[in-house]
Amino acid sequence: MKSNRIFEITTILLNKGTITARELASRFGVSTRTCFGTRKQKTADGG
């Protein structure tokens, strides 16, 4: 689910600091484009 992915990505970034879109895509089983879209949505939501 998208909201879970956003939460998990936020948690990863808070703990790890940086991670590539390729690493996130591999971890969540989605494309790198999906990761960029999730990031864009999070930014638009004020995160």
Instruction: Domain ranges for the chain, please list them.
Output: 2-44
Q: Is 2 helix (H, G, I), strand (E, B) or coil?
A: helix
Beta-carbon contacts of 19 under 8 Å, excluding residues fewer than 6 positions away, are 12, 13
Pick from 39, 32, 34: nearest CA to 10: 39
Return the CATH number of 2-44, one of 2.40.160, 1.10.10, 1.10.3470, 2.50.20.
Answer: 1.10.10
Which tokens in the block code for residue 33?
């484009």
Q: How far is CA 15 from CA 9, 22, 37, in A?
A: 10, 18, 21
Please report the pLDDT score of residue 23 as a whole number. 92
pTM confidence score:
0.62
For 17-30, the pLDDT digits (tens) are 888 889 988 998 88
Query: Residue type at 34?
Result: T
Question: What pLDDT digit, counting tens, does each position of 1-47 carry?
Answer: 577 877 888 888 889 888 888 998 899 888 888 877 766 665 656 65
